[in-house]
Amino acid sequence: MLPLRFSSVVRPLALAALVALGACSSDKKDDPTPTTPTNGFTWTTDGTNYASTTVVKSVAGGAMALLGQYKAPNNDTYNVTINVPATAGTYAVGANGTTGTLASYATTIGSTTTSYVASGSYGSGSVVVTSVTATEIVGTFTFTGEAFAPAGATKALTNGKFNIKR
């Protein structure tokens, strides 16, 4: 198996998924306890638990782009993006991470969007893909992403879980 290159395989998948995610919306309060979702993402950041209200996935060429979005009643949005190989395994993200593996978190609060990335030499963490079957993709994640602006700002996501129906 050839190593995945973010620019050649995952970037187009992530872009397509982001476009689709931007077209979706739903209002749902965050889940008080981050349990394994039945179709979506759960995670904790800054002491708050979130459950996705929208999920987008793309699996092609041995790579997966998984996105979960929580949209608050005031229209603020919180997006988790995970790009990993489409096979079960444990993947490091961030400094010295696995080629083609990326985790990011983007928030849009009012009119201000901030993106935190764990990929290449930025951030740190891991994604554990428990299973990839014809019907679902299951796993966990934890990562700390680093923002480009404001430079040096970080955001930690813990207790991350996903169960994506295919």
The whole-number pLDDT of residue 120 equals 82
Q: Report the pLDDT averaged over residues 34-55.
A: 88
The phi, psi pair for 91, rounded to 5°, reads -125, 125
Name the residue with tokens 């079960």: 88
Give bridge partners of residue 48 from the DSSP assignment. 45
What CA–CA distance (Å, rounded) separates 4 from 14?
Answer: 14
What CA–CA distance (Å, rounded) separates 158 from 160?
Answer: 5
What CA–CA distance (Å, rounded) separates 166 from 164?
Answer: 6
Specify if 91 maps to a domain.
yes
Of the pLDDT bands very low, low, confident and very high (cuts 50, 70, 90), residue 151 is confident
The whole-number pLDDT of residue 96 equals 67
Q: Would strands 112-118 and 102-109 be described as parallel, antiparallel, or unpaired?
A: antiparallel
Give bridge partners of residue 46 from the DSSP assignment. none
Specify if 41 maps to a domain.
yes
Specify if 25 maps to a domain.
yes
Specify if 125 maps to a domain.
yes
Specify if 129 maps to a domain.
yes
pLDDT digits (tens, 9 = 90+) for 2-12: 333 434 334 43
The tokens for 89 are 């395994």
pLDDT digits (tens, 9 = 90+) for 99-133: 678 999 999 999 999 999 998 888 999 999 999 99
Domain that holds residue 100: 6-165
In this prediction, what percent of the chain has a pLDDT beyond 70? 77
Specify if 1 maps to a domain.
no
Domains in the chain, number: 1
Q: In this structure, is the dihedral angle defined by the CA atoms of residues 138, 47, 94 and 125, taken in order, positive or negative?
A: negative
